[in-house]
Structure 1
Amino acid sequence: MEDYNSKPAFGFQNSRNANPHEIPFPSHSWSLEMLLRRLKAIDVKRDDKFASVLEAVGEFGTFQWRLVALTFIPSMLSSYFMLSDHFMLTDQKPYCNTSWILAVGPNLSTDEQLNLTLPRAPNGSFLTCLMYIPVPWDLDSIINSGLNYTETCKYGWIYPYAKTRSLINEFDLVCGNEPNKESMQTMFLVGILTGSLLFGLLSDKMGRYPAILVSLLGLLIFGFGAAFVKSFDQYLFFRLVMTQAAVGYAISSVSLVTEWLVGHHRAQAIILELCFMSVGVLFLSGSAYKIFHWRLLFLLGGVPMLPLISNIWVLRESPRWLMVKGKVEEAKKVLSYAAEVNKKTIPLNLLNELQLQGKKVTKSSVLDFCTNQRIFKVVLPMACVWYSVSYIYLTLSLKMKDFGVDNYVRYVIPGILEVPARLCCIVLLEYFGRKCSLFLSLTLATIICLFLLFLPQELKSIIILMLVLGEFCLAATVSVFFIYTAELLPTVLRSTGLGMVSLAWAAGANTALAVSSKIKTQLPILFCCLSCVVALCFASLVPETGTDPLRDSIEYSSRDSIESKRRSQDIASMIIAEESLSDIGSDEVEKDTILNATLLKSEDGGLLDTALEKPSNREVSSPDP
C-alpha cells in the first residue's frame, strides 16, 4: 500500500494548485492503469484501519527489516536439511571384509588382499557381495593353490576406493541392505504432510511466534543431532522431524511476514525468503562437494542455528493474529514496540480505533474449509493448482536424473537460476498483479512442456536445457502462488490453509514419483502438459488480491462484495472520463483534473464518491485548445 506522504508515481505534488507544467505526466493507457491501482490502494487504506496503524508504525522500518532478515538463515537451512539425502546416499563400491588373511600376510597391500580373497566376475572385476571361505593355511599355500569355495560376506564390508564417507559405508547399506529410495522419498513426503498439518494448526491456535520457536528448536536439535545418530533407523527418524520442522517454519514465517508487512513490501519479503531457500540448495551442494564426511555436513548446517535461536527474542507476535484472538491490548503493545524501534509515534486516537468487530472473538476450525462456501471456493482451486505445479516440478527434476545429469549439476544449475526467476516476480507482481503473473509463468511452463513432448530424444543437450528452463518458470510460479495463497486466506486460518495446500503439494510430488518410476516413456511429460492446462483452468477461478486488504475472519457478506465493486466501477468511470477529455479538452486541464481527483481521494477520503457520481460542469466543459 502506498504511503500518504509518499511521492506519487507521476511527480511531486505539494498542493492542489501545483503548476501542471512542472509535473511530468504520462498520458498513455498504461499510466492510467497504474493510476487506477494507486487510487484503489488509497481507497483500501481508508477502509482498513489496521493498515493505517501499520503505516503509522512505519511500513518498512528497522523493525520490519529485522523481521525479514531473521527469516533468511532459517529459510536457507530448511532447504539445506530437507534435501540433504541426495548427498548423503552417494554410491560406494563395497567389498567383503577379508582381513582374516592379514593374520598370515600382514604386509599384503589392499590390491593383493582382494586378489587372493575375492572371486572375480566374468569381466575381471571383483565381486562385491561374495568372498572365499577362510582356510587355516599359510600365505604360500594360499598363493600357490588358491581358494575355490565362496560365501556371502560374513565380517562386513570395506570401501578401499571410496572418496567420501556417506550413509552407505557408515551403516553398510549394501548387498541386500540397500535403502529403498522410494521409501525414503515417501518418508520425506510423510514429513511434509504431518508437518503441514501439525504446524499449521499450532500456528493458528497458539500463535506465529510459538510455532516459529518450536520449528527452529526442531531444526537445531534434530538437524544438529543427526550428526550423532548410531543407526540408519535413527537417521530416518531425525530426518522425519527435520522435514516437519522445516515445513512448519516456512508456514509460520510466511504467515508472520504476511501479517506484519503491507503492499509491495509483503511480496518482496516473501520472495527474498524463497530466494534464500534456493541459496540453501547451493550451500548444500558446495558443502557436499568439499566436505567428505556426512556427519560434518550436519554439524555445519546446525551451527548457524545457535546464534539464531539466541536472537529470536527480537521477533514479535503478529498483531493481526492477536486481534482476531481477542488480545487487543497485547496487539497494541506489540504495535507500540514496533513503532518505538522504528522511531515513530502512533496517534492515540488511531490506536484506540483497534477494537474487536462485534465485541467477540473470531471462532474457526479446520471444518470451515468444507462448511464455509467462500473459503471452499478459494481453497479447492488453490489446492488443485498446487497439486499440478508440484507434479510438473518433480517430473522435470526426475527427467534430468534419467538423462544422466550429475547429482551436483542437478541442484546447482536450477538453484542458480531460481534466484533471478524469483526476483523477476517482484517486477511482475508490481505491474501485472498476482493473477496475471501466475498466468504468465504457467503459460511459459506449458510451452516448455510442449517442446519437451515433441523434441526427439536424441537431442539430449537441448532437452536438458528445456528442463532447466522449465524449472526456471516453475520457480517463478511457486513464488507468485505462495504469496497469492497467503493473501487469499483469512488471518484466523492462514497457517492452517497453507498447511492444507502443502498436502496437495506433497500429493502431487508423490504422484510424480509413482508415475516416473513405472513409466519411462514420454507419457509423464504428456501428463505435465495436461497438468499445466488444469492449473491454468483452476487459477482462473481464484480471485485477484491486488491491493485488497487482508481478510481476518471467515465471515463474508455480499454487501462487502457489492461495495468493493461499486468503488472499483467509480474509479474506472473516472479514468474513462479523463481519457475522453483528451479529445475535447487541453492537456493542461486533463492533468489538473486527474491530479485534483487524486488529491481529493488521499486528503478528503469520502469526498471521492460524490465527485465521481456528479462531476462538476467546470470539469466537463473544458476550454478548447
Structure 2
Amino acid sequence: MTFSEILDRVGSMGPFQYLHVTLLALPILGIANHNLLQIFTATTPDHHCRPPPNASLEPWVLPLGPNGKPEKCLRFVHLPNASLPNDTQGATEPCLDGWIYNSTRDTIVTEWDLVCGSNKLKEMAQSVFMAGILVGGPVFGELSDRFGRKPILTWSYLLLAASGSSAAFSPSLTVYMIFRFLCGCSISGISLSTIILNVEWVPTSTRAISSTTIGYCYTIGQFILPGLAYAVPQWRWLQLSVSAAFFIFSLLSWFATGFAYYSLAMGVEEFGVNIYILQIIFGGVDIPAKFITILSISYLGRRITQGFLLILAGVAILALIFVSSEMQLLRTALAVFGKGCLSGSFSCLFLYTSELYPTVLRQTGMGISNIWARVGSMIAPLVKITGELQPFIPNVIFGTMTLLGGSAAFFLLETLNRPLPETIEDIQDWYQQTKKTKQEPEAEKASQTIPLKTGGP
C-alpha cells in the first residue's frame, strides 16, 4: 500500500482537531504583521536640512534639485546674499546639523536620522529581521525535537513579546537591529512549532490538505542533512542529473517568489498613496489571488499556473519602470496585480513542491526550498539600495529574476492528477514516461510522412 492510499483510507477531522487547529491559528494571525511592520515604523516623511545654530532669523532658503523641488540632503554654504560673489552663492554642503521632518510621527527614520547617506541602514534593518527568520528555523527545529513542541512554542511567544517590546524602546539603531533579529527568530520558532503540533494532532488523511504548510517543519531543522545523507548514496548518475535539474528549477522559483514578493510588499511607501489604505489593498488582493490560484492549479495544472504567475508578476514589476511617478493610480494597480500574482505563486509552490519530491526527500526538498525563499526575502531590501545609482535598477533586477523563476517552472514535471511519488526511482520513471509521451506524437507524425521519390526514365 502506497502512502497516498493510506491517506485516502484512514483518519478524519473531529472536535479535538478543530479545537486545537483554532487555538493554534488565532495567535498566528498577528505574526504576519511583524513581517511588514517596518512599513509603518520606518516611513520617511518629507525633510530638509536643519539651519545651523548661528543662522539668522531670515527665512531658510534651500537649494533646488534637478526636479525643481527643494533638496532634502543639501543646503547652501552661505545664504544667497547680494554682497557675495555669484560662484559662492550656489555652493552647497551636506546637512551638518541634522534634519527637520514635516511630520509629528516618530519612526526609526526620524529618531536616528536614517535619511540621505544613512538611508541604507533602513533597508539593512529589514534584512536583519529576515535573517532572523532564516536562522530561527534550524535553531528552534533542533530545540523542539530535543525539549518538545509545546515548551518551545511557549518560549517563542515569550521571546517575541520580550524582543518586540525591547525593540520599541531601543536606545540606538544597533540595539534595535539585535532585537528585531530576535523577533525574526522567535517568529520562525512559532511557525515551526505550530506546524509540527498541527501535523501531529490532525489525522493523517487531512494532512495532505495542509501540505502547503508541512514542509517548513522538520526540514529546516535537523532533518535536512540526514535526509540528504540517506538519499544521495541511492542516486545513480542519470537519476542525479534529473533530480538535480528539478531541484535547481524548483529552488529558482522559490527564490524568485520570495525575492520579488517582499520587493513589492515593503515598497508601499514608494507609490505616493496613503500607506494604511494601500496596505489594506495589498492585503486584500491576496484573497481573490489565492482563490484564482486554487482554480487554476485544479484545472490548468501546477506547472502552467506557477510559470505564468511569476511571469505576469515579472512583467508588472518591469512595467513600473516605464510608468511615470505622476501616474500614481496606474503604478498602484500594477503593484497590486504583481503582489497578487506572487501571493498566488507562494500558494502554488507549497503544494507543487510537496508533490514534486518523493517521500524520502519531500521534507528535505520543502525545507531547502523554504530556505531559498527566506534568502530571497533577506536580499530584497538590500537590492533596493541600488536605486541610489539609478531609480530603475531595483525593478530591473526584481523583474528579471522573477521572469527567470517563471521560465524555470516550465521545465518541471506536471503533478496534476498523479499519485505522490514514493522513491527517487518513481521520479525517474515519471520523467521517462513524460519524455516518451512527447516523443510518440513526433514519431507518429514522422511515420505518416511519405518521402518523395525521383521519377524514372
TM range (shorter): 0.5 to 0.7
Name the residue aligned to 2:453: none
Partners of 1:43 and 1:496 in 2: CA distance: 20
Name the residue aligned to 2:374: 506
Partners of 1:184 and 1:232 in 2: CA distance: 8
1:89 corresponds to which of 42, 51, 63: 42
Name the residue aligned to 2:108: 167
Kindly report which structure 2 residues correspond to 1:42-441, keeping only aligned pairs within 5 A, or say none: 47=6, 52=10, 55=11, 59-92=12-45, 93=47, 96=50, 116=57, 119-122=60-63, 161-173=102-114, 178=119, 180-204=121-145, 206-261=147-202, 265-266=206-207, 366-369=225-228, 372-373=231-232, 377=243, 380-395=248-263, 404=272, 406-425=274-293, 431-432=298-299, 436-437=301-302, 439-441=304-306
Name the residue aligned to 1:608: none
Name the residue aligned to 1:531: 405
Unaligned runs of 5+ in 1: 1-41, 102-113, 133-149, 274-317, 322-362, 566-625
Q: In the alignment, is the contact (CA less than 8 A) between 2:312 and 2:338 conserved in 1?
A: no
State the secondary structure of the residue aligned to 2:127.
helix
In 2 relative to 1, CA 468–523 (structure 1 residues): closer, same or farther, beyond 3 Å? same
Identity rate of aligned residues, in percent?
25
In 2 relative to 1, CA 364–177 (structure 1 residues): closer, same or farther, beyond 3 Å? closer
Name the residue aligned to 2:345: 477
In 2 relative to 1, CA 164–497 (structure 1 residues): closer, same or farther, beyond 3 Å? same
Partners of 1:82 and 1:371 in 2: CA distance: 35
Cα offset, 1:478, TM superposition: 0.6
Cα offset, 1:387, TM superposition: 1.3
- What is the TM-score of this pair, normalised by structure 2? 0.65
In 2 relative to 1, CA 423–169 (structure 1 residues): closer, same or farther, beyond 3 Å? same
Partners of 1:261 and 1:167 in 2: CA distance: 42
Q: Note the aligned Cα RMSD (angstroms).
A: 4.9
Q: In the alignment, is the contact (CA less than 8 A) between 1:391 and 1:511 conserved in 2?
A: yes
Partners of 2:119 and 2:252 in 1: CA distance: 35
Partners of 2:145 and 2:360 in 1: CA distance: 6
Cα offset, 1:413, TM superposition: 1.6
Which digits, 9 at most, give the CA deviation of each residue in 1:14-35, with x for residues without a partner? xxxxxxxxxxxxxxxxxxxxxx
Letter in 1 for 2:169: F
1:443 corresponds to which of 293, 308, 313: 308
Q: In the alignment, is the contact (CA less than 8 A) between 1:212 and 1:252 conserved in 2?
A: yes
In 2 relative to 1, CA 384–455 (structure 1 residues): closer, same or farther, beyond 3 Å? closer
Which digits, 9 at most, give the CA deviation of each residue in 1:491-548, with x for residues without a partner? 99877755432321133335555655266267433443232101332x428x669665
In 2 relative to 1, CA 174–384 (structure 1 residues): closer, same or farther, beyond 3 Å? closer
Q: In the alignment, is the contact (CA less than 8 A) between 2:306 and 2:409 conserved in 1?
A: no
Which structure has the larger Rg over C-alpha atoms? 1
Partners of 2:405 and 2:418 in 1: CA distance: 26
In 2 relative to 1, CA 223–260 (structure 1 residues): closer, same or farther, beyond 3 Å? same
Cα offset, 1:417, TM superposition: 0.8
